[in-house]
Structure 1
Amino acid sequence: MSFIRVALLASASLCTTMAYAEQIPVPSTEVVEGGQIIVTGRAQRLYRTETTTVGKSAQDPLDIPQALQVINKDLFADQGARDATDIYRNISGVSFFSYAGVTFRGFRQDQSFYDGMRGNPFIGFSVPQLFNIERVEVLKGPAGLFFGPGSPGGIINYVSKVPDTKTAMRLVATGGNYDRRGISAEATGPIDSDGIVTYRLGGFYEAMNPYRLNTKNVSLIGDGGVAIRTNEGGKLTLQATVYHNDLQANRLRGVLTDNAGNFLTDIRWNANEPTDFLHLKSQAYQARYATAIGDAVTFDAGVRYFKATETQQYHEPRGFVAGSTDLVAREFRDQIRDVDGLSFSANLTARLDLLGMEHKVQAGADWYDETSVLNSRILRAGVTPLSLSNPVYTNSARDAARAALLPFTVTDTRTKRKGAYLQDQISLTERVILVGGVRYDKFEDGVVGNRFYTDDDVTFRTGAIFKPRKDVSVYVSWSQSFEPQSASSQTVDAGGPFAPVTGDQFEGGVKTDLFDGRLQANFAAYRIVRKNILQADPTLPPVNGQDQLRPIGEVTSKGFEVDLSTDITANWVALVNYGYNDTKITGTIAGQAITNAVGDRFANAPKHKLGFWTRYQVPAIDAAFAVGGEYVSRRVSLSGQGVKPYTIFDASITKGLGFAELMLRVDNIFDKVYAASGFSAQSGHFPGEPRTFLAELRFSF
């Protein structure tokens, strides 16, 4: 806590010394790995980033034969985004599932990377925050070559804000309905006169009483960093971030619905008592070094360590009491989750000419070691049911006192990952590029007290790009991913060990960067096949009481996505994204289900998802007006209940005041009642937020 207070107060004092400085619209600068500097004007090219590091090296998206998107801090600011759930509507093929989890091209996925490394400090049921994030990079489809084991839907990489050589300060005061109030401050710049050492210091505080009964949220972030120019073209960056989330009457479940997806009571209903809570305390520390070696070689290496503790006491809904249509049965859970992880990565990129062709050769390796300990005790007997129509809560914490008499069940899980990759990108001509890469991974998973499982796998990625002109890229690619089977399924009695679940994707598309970047339109079509999903084989007798498993399950996901980012005029910018997805079970044992599937459909996987955001600025009055919206088609929950389609709209006004900037925003303008996603019949659907108002007063200088 002391670090957070110091960061916040120090940054605020630096900012307020110039609180009445006149704001001047100037181009923003962005430094990416490899030392490349990108200058982006505020009026045009507002939400675009011309370089991404999602492929482990700074690269033009047109030269990557796979769909990707980059969401930058300008869009965060204009949309008032606070956490990851606020930006999903901007990403085609991605929709909300639960907490930090998403549906990604039809598959459930909850992995996140930070600056290309594993080590997500938002464990369990907390959602990544965006205060200290420069941009979010999304690589769609299997990403095994660069990131190792993971879902075939894609990966999300959070790129941290880093110290800048230019002095800049920012102070933001926040207010809104539901008693929302907050303040944040950031400062960056050189420490010495030559700019060899630079710093960044930031602090964030926000509190509110959300619409669900009994809830209260407090979030604090302290973030600091120092960058040291070690040599010409080389930089060492040291960063430390502390997070503290205090969520009362949380962790939230949903609200019960009927089979058609209609809520059975007010969406404010909450199974949690006022004394329930979720506390997250976490820290992340990392060091990254990047340098250019001559004109043709770049090298970077990073190490990241995080430690997080999530403590929660909450009432879990268990469906209706037998014979009742109003009383919801509950159990009380007391859990402490401790997770720590250490990650290391290194990447080398070299450009060279061989046989008259330019080669961009990339090689790298990464290593990760994680310990996750869950202490859990569950009180099932004697927990008072809660009425849907007239919930009566208590502040006695009686269930917590009774649960304290129970012993904890301890589950100590260990995860180890290490891998290395090699990729060659060959420019046959100025218009034709070939890409080929291979990666080897070895992993070890297990629960202390049980058998540990070790295995390895090889993944490939190939692609071809044709550029009929320098600002148009037509591509095809094949990429792979894999996921280790759960350690509990690898026992000899169950028929194990088993090879990992695999994912193979064929993708083709077109990317454009027309009219000097003022129009970026992308199209991608894909087909993903996921195999080796374990299922019980009813033709074989159990061994020592365990069903015999076989890697029989198969799922096929196919669809297409369209992304458009354009400056309609010098003052009018628009973003539009659309995704179509059809994910079905294509191989299974009759009568058996596959995880997250209902029949032949997958939970919370919409066939259609549309999002848009458009912003028009009026220089004469120093104001900008924006409106956005999202449409998500019908889905099913994990229990097969319908999840209704919805359409919501948002709007904002940003007004320059000379000494500051004021942003007014309203979400869900028409106060639509809808389900953001479905979960189970016992715990209901997750309701979307009702109409909310947000005001920000921003001082930047």
Structure 2
Amino acid sequence: MRVLHTAGAAGFAMLATPLAAQDTGDPAPPAEERAAQSEGEDEGDMIIVTGRAQKLYRVEEVSVGKLDTPPLESSLVVTTITEELIEDQGARDAQDLYRNISGVSFFSYAGVTARGFRQEENFYDGLRGDPYAGFSVPQLFNVERVEFLKGPSGMLYGPGAPGGLFNYVTKKPDLEEFSGQVKAIGGTEDRFGGSAEVNAPLGRGFGVRGGLFYEDRGTFRFNSASRTLIADTGLAMDGGPVRVDVQGTRYDQELDANRLRGVPVDDEGEFLTSRRWNHNEPGDFLNLVSDVFQVRLEAQPVEGLSLDATARYNDAQEVQNYHEPRGLFDSDGDGTIDATIREFRDQLRTQESWSFGGNLVWAAGISGDVRNRLLVGADHFEGDTYFRGRSLRGRTVDTPGLPNPLSLFDPVYGQSDPATYDQGPYTVTLTDSERTGIYVLDELTIGRLILVGGIRRDDFYDNSDGTVFEDSQTTYRGGVVYRVTDEISAFGQYATSFEPQSAASQNPLAGGPFAPTTGDIYEAGIKTALFNGQIQSTLSAYRITRSNILQTDPRGDTGNDGVDDLLSIGEITSKGIEFDIAADVTPDWVVTAAYGYNDTRITQDNAGGGFSNNVGDRFANAPEHQLGFWTRYQFPAIGLAAALGGDYVSERVSISGQPVNPYMVFDASLIYETGPFRALLRVDNLFDETYAASGFIDRTGHFPGAPRSAFLEVGYEF
């Protein structure tokens, strides 16, 4: 029998995709039911088609909320991007996925704008300890799924931004089935590479998996390219009530002519030069080597009691040599900005960290349709970071021993050699950080009513070159869900978050120490899974306030101690509505759409600005409107599927207040599957739209979106 999982070749930037994987309903009907809708025979071969949106692009439980919960029974708003979706998109790194999540858009590197706020920290398997230190972007080869928890998550995960939280769940050995696959890829911009994965049960409750990934690719920016190697191993032991997973991973990434900044723009938000322009020399680089070791234990010693504990160690080193744009200028006096001053930076960052987290869950029926789950947990993180750097700024004219300026319109590379620079000594910064949290979360179900409440206490410590700061903070979460019917739920939640002020900002002469930045959310909405999940939707409205942002005291140095004072009076408010829908129009045709409205504005500052923008202004890189769609049609008789998607982002402003113009891009792909063979052809930016993915500051410009590109990936499963 030949089985064809439908080809949802979504290599697109579709906001809507996760709806099918997000808080949308009860378990899908059995695969046999779906198969019966489009089952046929051809000379003894049976072709079974199962709906992607219903079977593969969604999960039946949300785990990022600590308590595994069916989406319709959760007050959280979570988007889950599954392994199948990652594969169908041919996604390689996190930036390939951001546009799949309503309320999330690209900001810079691994950072995003989430519900109006900048968010940069990533969790792995529920713990701190991102292996991609500094300015590298998470790769997806060894990732099983990506979970994005929207809104403040302080009660669940401790310090963090109020817009949301990414959690990358890594692949573990399967103890039941032997499997493996090999893939090869080739595409535009000199792209080539391949991967191999094997999973093998060993018997007696043991199993192993291993994977190797390598890819070499250029980028559309002059001089820029990347080479990525990931080696991943895992060993699992399941002795009945106890399972133990041991994992080890090496990440090795070489990025030529990085760290990449943007392309300068004018006051209308239009690029001043080609989107391929790069401020870096061919010899510049950003290289990362990161090693991770992790052990996880899961156990269910008695009925109703379960526990898990995970320990994670990460040792990462990132080295950068690059030329930073430091100031645009008119080189020939004709009134046109045509060049930039450059600064050479030589930097080394190392990070060694330990993370631990554990949870104990007791589930019990009380009486009748009343039941309760109680979770008690704790987590701890400690990290030592080392930074060594030096910089040397050039001038508007070529000067021996200094970086030369670079033309925007006719850049000439190779004339500036760091070996000839008169560089000074390195400066070194050592930072030690500790984060410890304990928390309690309770879920009470009374018939169709579900009540959730939690509280957490965090202690945190930072020591940056002898400047020590320590404090504690309490955060809360409350939620309510009412199952209107088996297919419709109404939900509401309130939650808080906090972020410690940096140790460098705690100078007592400036008025420190300062309380952490805080955030809270009020959110309510409706989730549906109609017609046995064939039409799924989520509608939610939220209001997030971020407070206690440090601002310069307009009174200046009130203590006459030579240091200008600071005040924690800044405030930003985000309000929004998000609507997602996914529908299996027919067994062979799926349509998804997502719309997000967001209004993030500065609501309090120091009366003299304090931010790059003013009170009442929209916050930087926070679009008001986002709209995404994706439609896929499959031809099961020939094993082929075709898909088209689009992504629209409305106008934004950069950190410097320059406009970031709206854009809409389209993507298309084809997937062909027959037996163990699978081929994916994907074209990104189908009509070669020139656009800015996000804005930064005026001297570095806007980050340009990639021009049209294509690749072919061929795989074999065994």
Amino acid of the structure 2 residue aligned with 1:371: D
2-structure distance, mates of 1:612, 1:252 = 30
1:540-571 CA distances to partner (integer Å, 9 max, x unpaired)? 53443211112211111100111223322212
Correspondences of 1:532-543 after superposition (within 5 Å) = 532-539=548-555, 541-543=557-559
> Cα gap change, 1:101/1:595 in structure 2, threshold over 3 Å: closer, same or farther?
farther
Partner of 1:463: 479
Partner of 2:404: 384
Partner of 1:481: 497
Partner of 1:15: none
Partner of 1:197: 206
Return the match for 1:691 from 694, 703, 708.
Answer: 708
Shift of 1:355: 6.4
1-structure distance, mates of 2:256, 2:572 = 39
Amino acid of the structure 1 residue aligned with 2:345: R
> Cα gap change, 1:292/1:400 in structure 2, threshold over 3 Å: closer, same or farther?
farther
**SS of aligned partner of 1:62:** helix
Shift of 1:628: 1.3
> Cα gap change, 1:368/1:40 in structure 2, threshold over 3 Å: closer, same or farther?
farther
Extract unaligned runs of 5+ from structure 2: 8-26, 32-48, 395-401
> Cα gap change, 1:363/1:466 in structure 2, threshold over 3 Å: closer, same or farther?
same
Moved more, 612-621 or 382-391: 612-621
2-structure distance, mates of 1:303, 1:542 = 47
1:278-325 CA distances to partner (integer Å, 9 max, x unpaired)? 101101111111122333121100001111111010000122236652
Return the match for 1:418 from 436, 442, 446.
Answer: 436
> Cα gap change, 1:452/1:110 in structure 2, threshold over 3 Å: closer, same or farther?
same
Moved more, 659-668 or 597-606: 597-606
Shift of 1:51: 1.4
Amino acid of the structure 2 residue aligned with 1:138: F
1-structure distance, mates of 2:564, 2:30 = 59
Pair 1:132-2:125 in alignment = no
Shift of 1:328: 1.1
Return the match for 1:364 from 351, 374, 377.
Answer: 377
**SS of aligned partner of 1:513:** strand
Partner of 1:402: 421
Partner of 1:229: 238
Amino acid of the structure 1 residue aligned with 2:431: T
Pair 1:175-2:186 in alignment = yes
Q: TM-score, normalised by structure 2?
A: 0.90
Shift of 1:375: 0.6
**SS of aligned partner of 1:312:** strand
Residues 551 and 569 of structure 2 are in contact (CA less than 8 Å); yes or no, is this contact kept in structure 1? yes
**SS of aligned partner of 1:240:** strand
**SS of aligned partner of 1:74:** helix
Amino acid of the structure 1 residue aligned with 2:382: D
Return the match for 2:315 from 300, 307, 310.
Answer: 307
Residues 331 and 339 of structure 2 are in contact (CA less than 8 Å); yes or no, is this contact kept in structure 1? no
Higher relative contact order (Cα pairs below 8 Å, separated by 6+ residues): 2
Return the match for 1:494 from 510, 513, 523.
Answer: 510
Partner of 1:529: 545
Partner of 1:158: 168
Pair 1:144-2:154 in alignment = yes
**SS of aligned partner of 1:697:** strand
Correspondences of 1:10-25 after superposition (within 5 Å) = 24-25=3-4
Pair 1:330-2:338 in alignment = no
2-structure distance, mates of 1:597, 1:82 = 38
Partner of 1:642: 659
Residues 333 and 377 of structure 1 are in contact (CA less than 8 Å); yes or no, is this contact kept in structure 2? yes
2-structure distance, mates of 1:209, 1:682 = 25
1:376-407 CA distances to partner (integer Å, 9 max, x unpaired)? 1001142110111111010x76224426x421
Residues 630 and 649 of structure 1 are in contact (CA less than 8 Å); yes or no, is this contact kept in structure 2? yes
Correspondences of 1:653-672 after superposition (within 5 Å) = 653-672=670-689
Residues 388 and 429 of structure 2 are in contact (CA less than 8 Å); yes or no, is this contact kept in structure 1? yes
**SS of aligned partner of 2:421:** helix
> Cα gap change, 1:659/1:116 in structure 2, threshold over 3 Å: closer, same or farther?
closer
Moved more, 284-293 or 346-355: 346-355
Partner of 1:572: 589
Partner of 1:504: 520
Return the match for 1:374 from 382, 387, 392.
Answer: 387
2-structure distance, mates of 1:564, 1:293 = 41
1-structure distance, mates of 2:50, 2:435 = 44
Amino acid of the structure 1 residue aligned with 2:381: Y
2-structure distance, mates of 1:56, 1:355 = 25
Residues 597 and 603 of structure 1 are in contact (CA less than 8 Å); yes or no, is this contact kept in structure 2? no
Residues 548 and 570 of structure 2 are in contact (CA less than 8 Å); yes or no, is this contact kept in structure 1? yes
2-structure distance, mates of 1:598, 1:181 = 49
Correspondences of 1:17-96 after superposition (within 5 Å) = 24-25=3-4, 43-44=50-51, 45=54, 46-96=56-106
Correspondences of 1:231-270 after superposition (within 5 Å) = 232-270=240-278
**SS of aligned partner of 2:532:** helix
> Cα gap change, 1:513/1:297 in structure 2, threshold over 3 Å: closer, same or farther?
farther
Residues 593 and 599 of structure 1 are in contact (CA less than 8 Å); yes or no, is this contact kept in structure 2? no
Shift of 1:658: 4.0
Pair 1:207-2:207 in alignment = no
Residues 90 and 612 of structure 1 are in contact (CA less than 8 Å); yes or no, is this contact kept in structure 2? no
Amino acid of the structure 1 residue aligned with 2:554: P
1-structure distance, mates of 2:483, 2:525 = 12
Amino acid of the structure 2 residue aligned with 1:623: L
Pair 1:320-2:328 in alignment = yes
Moved more, 584-593 or 269-278: 584-593
Amino acid of the structure 2 residue aligned with 1:149: P
Q: TM-score, normalised by structure 1?
A: 0.92
> Cα gap change, 1:40/1:221 in structure 2, threshold over 3 Å: closer, same or farther?
farther
**SS of aligned partner of 1:257:** coil
Residues 65 and 76 of structure 2 are in contact (CA less than 8 Å); yes or no, is this contact kept in structure 1? no
2-structure distance, mates of 1:264, 1:305 = 45
**SS of aligned partner of 2:511:** coil
Residues 330 and 338 of structure 2 are in contact (CA less than 8 Å); yes or no, is this contact kept in structure 1? no
Moved more, 584-593 or 136-145: 584-593
Residues 321 and 385 of structure 1 are in contact (CA less than 8 Å); yes or no, is this contact kept in structure 2? no
**SS of aligned partner of 2:508:** coil
Shift of 1:61: 1.7
Amino acid of the structure 2 residue aligned with 1:456: S
Return the match for 1:286 from 285, 291, 294.
Answer: 294
Shift of 1:371: 1.2
Pair 1:341-2:366 in alignment = no
Partner of 1:186: 197
**SS of aligned partner of 1:462:** strand
Shift of 1:601: 2.1
2-structure distance, mates of 1:579, 1:141 = 14
Shift of 1:470: 2.1
2-structure distance, mates of 1:331, 1:635 = 28
Residues 4 and 673 of structure 2 are in contact (CA less than 8 Å); yes or no, is this contact kept in structure 1? no
Amino acid of the structure 2 residue aligned with 1:234: V
1:594-625 CA distances to partner (integer Å, 9 max, x unpaired)? 37878722111100111222222111111111
2-structure distance, mates of 1:539, 1:273 = 45
Residues 182 and 196 of structure 2 are in contact (CA less than 8 Å); yes or no, is this contact kept in structure 1? yes
Pair 1:441-2:458 in alignment = yes
Percent identity of paired positions between Structure 1 and Structure 2: 48
Pair 1:105-2:105 in alignment = no
2-structure distance, mates of 1:27, 1:54 = 28
1:446-481 CA distances to partner (integer Å, 9 max, x unpaired)? 202x32100001011111111011232101111000
Give the number of aligned pairs: 665
> Cα gap change, 1:134/1:596 in structure 2, threshold over 3 Å: closer, same or farther?
farther
Partner of 1:116: 126
Partner of 1:517: 533
1-structure distance, mates of 2:613, 2:681 = 39
**SS of aligned partner of 1:191:** strand
1:316-349 CA distances to partner (integer Å, 9 max, x unpaired)? 0122236652121111000001011100000111
1-structure distance, mates of 2:558, 2:346 = 34
